[in-house]
Structure 1
Amino acid sequence: MSTTPPQLSEVEHVKTANRYLRGTIAESLNNRLTGALNPDDTHIIKFHGSYQQTDRDRDSERKRQKLEPLFSFMIRVRVPGGVATAPQWQRMDALADAYGNGTLKLTTRQTFQLHGVLKRDLRPTIQGFNDSLLDSIAGCGNVNRNVMCNVNPHESRGHGEVQALAAAISAHLTPRTTAYHEIWLDGELQNTTEATDDAEPVYGKTYLPRKFKIALNLPPYNDSDIFSNDIGLIAIEENGQLLGFNVAVGGGLGMTFNQPETYPRLADLIGFVPTEKVVDVCEKIVTIQRDWGNRANRKLSLLKYTIDRAGLPAFVAELHQRLGYALAGTRPYQFHSSSDAFGWTGNADGLSHLVLSVEGGRVLDCPGYGLKSALHEISAFHTGEFRLTGNQNLILANIEPAHRIRIQAILEAHGAGPKAEQLTALRRNALACVALPTCSQAFAEAERYLPQLLDKLDAIIRAHGLAEAGILVRMTGCPNRCARPYLGEIALVGKAPGRYNLYLGANHAGERLNKLYREMLDEDGILRELAPLLAAYAVERQPGEGFGDFVVRTGVVKATLFGLDFHA
């Protein structure tokens, strides 16, 4: 047997020398000659929840003026299960104004993102949300990221237990290093030359090969898109009692154009576990990926590739060995929707909940629409929570009866009242990633362009009587997973400026991938391809049939149930 050590990627070498996520970040922050970090630190700061970015709209002009790019930072704040208090919302809102670009981004992983933070403002920003018991450690990086959970509290009596479990998993898998506290909160770095892997009992010195994601859901709602996660946990209830969870492993939606060895994949169900053992099961799955994952080629280093390379039976056998017992057989369940239920729920005699549509997840003020100001005013007296959904929307949860009319009036006064009934279901359900100008991976627009495209799709939708047909539209600026594009019934994935690949055929329950239908379409091409399909759907669909099911049934695209079939 060869004793040649395995080849490691550049990032693995950086992680080896990073001193448990310290790197030279402190020195980078003190360098006032540039708005950027040292190159190696751009990898390590991701573990602290931040990405270094540039304003690509201004790159050419700054280059002409012989200036360095306008560097800034995105900070992603963890919100386990998407539940934030009113004071936490107030703090994030204030920090966006003080140090960011004045807006809040609600992400598809139920987190806050601040954009446009300058290097000199990173420390006061992080200290600011730390004061409200929020943090950004593990917001990004090669660790378990924000743990998702469907958030509408009226869905089930067991919801509180599931939410608590999401928080427990998040806490257990948070990195143990003190580097975050040292760099951002007190500025005193510790001597780590003698540190061992005991400092990170789950992750070890070099953490995971790539990012890792976990989500929980209560059927029949799949708004966390369970099967797109490395670990998906499906709550099983009986007579109102939470029994445990079906466990699914190996989901992930990112890929790379022209590299068919990369592909989106849905997670496989592997068994059932009682609630009290869920955290341990998650830990053991993480450690298998830590030990088995590909550390040579980052494009093939996610858990989905580990499982397909080793084989699911071998992976499950290893899990059972590490647990010391076998998972039980999966329990019956059924999903019927991955969308949010907009508007008011509850009644005037008790606590109410309001699900607000937030286009692109961007909380801002603009002429005639003052959502950010309205929520700022509401946060001053609301005693419930601000709950971020996995679909970039917001729930004002547990509203006291005395506050319901007041909240409604404030939203309407700012032009931001519940208007879901005025929007097509297509628009309400649409997702978009940030893309340009700040994302370095983006080939095309997404968040800034999608509303313009939806205006034109809405006209087609309304003309065919499909205003309430809940078609799932997803748009991304690149083939990565930020808006879960490959679970869209209609997905547009940016391939070049103004050009998108069109994918069709996922289903509403989040249990089937879509399939490439056309490539390199401009706006006219997108409308030309979709218009006849939507017209046919309006006339020929069967009762209750979704658009994705329709295009599969009629042979427009083939059903894609397995990642290895995605490119077929």
Structure 2
Amino acid sequence: MSTDTPKLSANEAIKEESNFLKGTIDVELSESTDQFNKDNLQLLKFHGTYQQDDRDVRLAAKKTGGGKAFSMMVRCRIPGGRITSDQMLAQLDLCDELGNSTLKITTRQTLQLHGVLKSDLQKTINRINEIQLSTLAACGDVNRNVVCCPAKRTDEVHRDMQILTDALVVALAPQTPAYHELWVSDPESGETTLEGGGSGEVVEPLYGPTYLPRKFKVGIALPDDNCIDIYAQDLGFLAVVRDGKIIGYNVLVGGGMGTTPSAKKTFPAIAKRMAFCTPEQAVDVAVAVVKVQRDHGNREDRKIARMKYLIADWGMDKFRAKVEEYFGEPLKDCTEDDVHEVDDHMGWQEQGDGKWSYGLNIENGRLYDNEKHQLKATIRAVCNEFKTDLRMTTNQSIIFTDIEEGDREKLIGIIRKHRATLTEDISTVRRWSIACVALPTCGLAITESERRLPSIIDSIEQPLAKLGLDKERFTLRMTGCPNGCARPYNADLALVGKAKDKYTLFAGGGWVGDRMAYIYKDLVKDADVADELIGIFSAYKSNRLDGESLGTFCTRVGRDDLEVLAAAAPRP
């Protein structure tokens, strides 16, 4: 007998029955087991933490009859990547005391700890809240960390972008008291240690009891500085500037990188231009967009639950009309303003107030100390010496702000003392590359990524120099699976894990981020990756037009001709 009632995904039932994300997490925290049950694992994501197991340790343990080595990844929510020196120092302490002694800067301008044991989870999240940070909504089916240009500037434009960032965080944040009850309350007395805790009426005025169908990402950018990759966001606000003031925003909707190659119904997508709004309208427009996704996004199949699929199904006209209905009035069309430049904010940059910022490139965002490089020690020393704010970038690097003119050499001296590599000494290809975590801790990873990309770059730096392309700017991104956490599908070149030690090689995106790449070759063996990349570089060198970027060249010639040109071009 047929029914019109849709069969919801299992996650929808978990959320519905969770008592606004509390579930039985408190019970499991008190138990001596090393892992959580499957329902609580889904709820814990909303609290900013994933359960993982180290596959390297698993393989070693298997030889002696052992099993999986479970631990938690804990991710902060840091709007716009802005953090104080004291907060950074506290995070470094946490990674040493309760994590695996490394800290990861993510592609959404935040920090995540790895290797936290279940028995230390409550203590870890509690201490993060004590330093006025939070992990709530860093993951899960809600709006996640809002990204914004991290540049420290004194002009009105950057100030207003940061104001909007903070306003969006408040407007789109979950309201459940479960977070404070579980993590912020004193674990022994049960009393809350920070304001905002305690019990009360459980209400989610924006999200309701089942929250969103899938994760949701928001970003704010400038046409002449798309450093946060606005076209990769579910919702983007592109500032429209006239005479040094933001008069409004072009609203972009429907970006999203994740895909499942075995499911043809899934695809990566860049956002589409929807409408223009004034600064005063921006927060309410964001709320309206979220509500449309909340009420009409797919809750039956999580593979097609992101907002990009709703827009693909409805078309932009219908989607915009529904947003305007929720917003309460029509919106104007987008202005002609669009992205056309990117600044990674690395190296020395003037702030406009007589002070300087210095962007330190962090390869793949991993902060660690070893016999060769002491990145954690570098950051500790800078934070203790200057006590200024820091900014994290969506390219997984870090910016030290408010450096006096007379202290510039002192900062450089600290970096050199700890053998960290100055941005100026890093090759262009390495500077513009990023990779996801992948193996050994990500449960979705098929191949290596973060641990493999540095050696790939090692093997292509010299050929690029011989071709005279070592100063050429292009994005090279790598992920261990098709989920696309390092935004591979709009990069000039990208490697995406497809099978064991095999990658899909993408080409034709671009560093501006407004164009999708295409599959150049599939199932490329790990051993052949460098040679395939060098072939593309050689074809580009021999056949590019004046001023043509690598991604634009790959798009112009197309996949088939690119393969022919790569085979024919002289190799360095």
Indicate whether the TM-score tops 0.5: yes
Instruction: Tell me, in whole angstroms, the C-alpha distance in 1 between the residues paired with 2:158 and 2:217.
Output: 20
Task: Tell me, yes or no, if the aligned pair for 1:515 and 1:557 is still in contact at 8 Å.
Answer: no
1:139 maps to 2:143: no
Taking the aligned partners of 1:407 and 1:253, their CA distance within structure 2 comes to 37
Look up the match of 2:77: 78
- Which residue of 336, 346, 351 corresponds with 2:350? 346
Displacement of 1:189: 10
* Residue 325 of structure 1, CA deviation: 0.9
Identity %: 39
Match of 2:509 in 1: 506
Q: Hey, what does 1:112 align to over in structure 2?
A: 111
Amino acid at match of 2:240: I
* 1-structure distance, mates of 2:549, 2:533: 15
Written as runs of structure 1 = structure 2, the 5 A alignment for 1:67-106 is: 67-106=66-105
Q: Is 1:29 the equivalent of 2:33? A: no
Deviation (angstroms), 1:155: 9.0
Distance 1:155 1:473 in 2: 32
The answer to which of 57-66 and 383-392 deviates more is 57-66
- What residue number does 1:295 align with? 299
> Per the alignment, in what secondary structure is the counterpart of residue 56 of structure 2?
coil
Per-residue deviation, residues 125-157 of structure 1 (Å, max 9, x unmatched): 111111110000000000000000011124954
Aligned-partner Cα distance in 2 for 1:367–1:493: 31
In structure 2, the CA distance between the partners of 1:360 and 1:324, relative to structure 1 (3 Å rule), is: same
Shift of 1:322: 1.2
Aligned position for 2:372: 368
SS in 1 for 2:558: coil
1:110 Cα offset (Å) = 0.5
- How far off is 1:437 after superposition? 0.2
Residues 193/429 of structure 1: CA separation in 2 closer, same or farther (3 Å cut): closer
Change (3 A) 1:536 1:328: same
Indicate how the Cα distance of structure 1 residues 384 and 157 shifts in structure 2: closer, same or farther if over 3 A, else same: farther
- Of 529, 533, 544, the residue aligned with 2:532 is 529
2:537 maps to 1:538: no
Out of 247, 253, 267, the residue aligned to residue 249 of structure 1 is: 253
* Structure 2 unmatched ranges of 5 or more: 193-197, 563-572
Tell me which moved more, 519-528 or 69-78. Answer: 519-528
Contact 1:336–1:508 under 8 Å retained in 2: no
Counterpart in 2 of 1:9? 9
Q: Is the 8 A contact 1:494 1:500 kept in 2?
A: yes
- Distance change in 2, residues 1:524/1:60 (3 Å): closer
Q: Is the contact made by 1:91 and 1:132 (CA closer than 8 Å) also made in structure 2?
A: yes
8 Å Cα contact 2:181/2:199 also seen in 1? no
Verify the 8 A CA contact 2:154 2:353 in the aligned structure 1.
no
CA distance in 2, matches of 1:347, 1:173: 30
Task: Specify the SS of the correspondent of 2:239.
Answer: strand
Specify the SS of the correspondent of 1:554: helix
SS at the partner of 1:206? coil
The residue that corresponds to 1:562 in the other structure is none
**Equivalent residues of 2:291, 2:326 under 8 A apart:** no
The one of 252, 255, 267 equivalent to 2:271 is 267
Match of 2:461 among 458, 461, 464: 458
Shift of 1:408: 1.5
Q: Distance in 1 between matches of 2:210 and 2:407?
A: 49
The 5 Å alignment of 1:419-498 reads 420-498=423-501
2:412 is equivalent to residue 408 of structure 1: yes
Task: Pick closer, same or farther for the CA change 1:258–1:166 going to 2, 3 Å.
Answer: same
Aligned counterparts of 1:507 and 1:388: Cα–Cα separation in 2: 22
Aligned equivalents of 2:434 and 2:199: distance in 1?
45
Matches within 5 A, 1:153-192: 153-154=152-153, 157-186=156-185, 187=187, 188=190
- Aligned-residue offset at 1:17: 0.8
Contact 1:151 1:387 in 2 (8 A): yes
Structure 2 counterpart of 1:294, one-letter code: N
Q: Is 2:62 the counterpart of 1:58?
A: no
Distance 1:168 1:27, change over 3 A: same
SS in 2 for 1:555: helix
Distance 1:432 1:457 in 2: 16
Range with greater deviation from structure 2 (64-73 or 434-443): 64-73
Kindly tell me: are residues 347 and 208 of structure 1, through their superposed partners in 2, closer, same or farther at Cα, counting changes over 3 Å? closer
Q: Give the alignment partner of residue 284 of structure 2, picking from 272, 280, 300.
A: 280
C-alpha deviation, 1:94, in angstroms: 0.8
SS of equivalent to 1:354: strand
Matches within 5 A, 1:175-254: 175-186=174-185, 187=187, 188=190, 199-254=203-258
CA separation of 1:545 and 1:203: change in aligned 2, threshold 3 A? same
Deviation at 1:63, TM superposition (A): 3.5
Alpha-carbon contact 1:505-1:548 (below 8 Å) kept: yes
> SS state of the match for residue 349, structure 2?
strand
Aligned counterpart, 2:149: 150
CA offsets 1:344-366 (integer angstroms, 9 cap, x no match) = 11289921010111001011112
Give, as a single letter, the amino acid of the residue that structure 2 aligns with 1:299.
K
CA distance in 1, matches of 2:379, 2:282: 36
Q: Shift of residue 381 of structure 1?
A: 3.2
Q: Does 1:377 align with 2:377?
A: no
Distance 1:12 1:163 in 2: 34
Aligned to 1:475, the other structure's residue is in SS state strand
Sort the Cα spacing of 1:348 and 1:517 in 2 relative to 1 into closer, same or farther, 3 A.
closer
Separation of aligned partners in 2, 1:472 and 1:537: 15
For 2:274, the aligned partner's letter is I
Partner of 1:565: none
The answer as to whether partners of 2:81 and 2:391 remain within 8 angstroms in 1 is yes
CA contact (8 A) 2:155 2:352 kept: no
Partners of 1:393 and 1:184 in 2: CA distance:
29
8 Å contact from structure 1 (residues 209, 295) kept in 2: yes
SS at match of 2:38: coil
2:255 corresponds to which letter in structure 1? G
* Cα 1:374/1:8, change in 2 over 3 Å: same
**Mapped partners of 1:9, 1:388: distance in 2:** 35
In the TM superposition, residue 163 of structure 1 has moved relative to its aligned partner by 1.1
Give the C-alpha shift of residue 311 in structure 1: 2.1
The letter for the 2-side match of 1:176 is Q
Task: Give me the whole-angstrom Cα distance separating, in 2, the residues matched to 1:88 and 1:189.
Answer: 24
Aligned counterparts of 2:358 and 2:88: Cα–Cα separation in 1: 16
CA RMSD of aligned residues (A): 2.2
The 1-side partners of 2:38 and 2:274 are apart by 41
> Residue deviations 1:72-116, cap 9 Å, x none?
000110110111111111111111111111111000000101000
| 1:357 matched residue in structure 2 | 361
Q: Deviations over 1:385-432 (max 9, x none)?
A: 1100011111112223343232111111111252x3332211110010
Q: How far apart in 2 are the matches of 1:212 and 1:363?
A: 27
Aligned-partner Cα distance in 2 for 1:201–1:499: 46
TM-score normalized with structure 2 length: 0.93
Cross-structure match for 2:569: none
Shift of 1:31: 1.2
Match of 2:304, as an amino acid? Answer: L
Residue 566 of structure 1: aligned partner: none
CA distance in 2, matches of 1:378, 1:341: 18
Q: Judging changes above 3 Å, is the alpha-carbon distance between structure 1 residues 155 and 202 closer, same or farther for their aligned structure 2 residues?
A: same
Q: Which residue identity is paired with 2:16? A: T
Greater shift in the superposed pair: 429-438 or 371-380: 371-380
Which segment drifts farther, 343-352 or 221-230?
Answer: 343-352
**How big is the shift at 1:508?**
2.0
1:319-350 CA-partner distances (Å, limit 9, x unpaired)? 11111111112123242334514211128992
Partner-residue secondary structure (3-state), 1:275: coil
Cα separation, 2, equivalents of 1:558 and 1:145: 40
* 3-state secondary structure, aligned to 1:340: coil
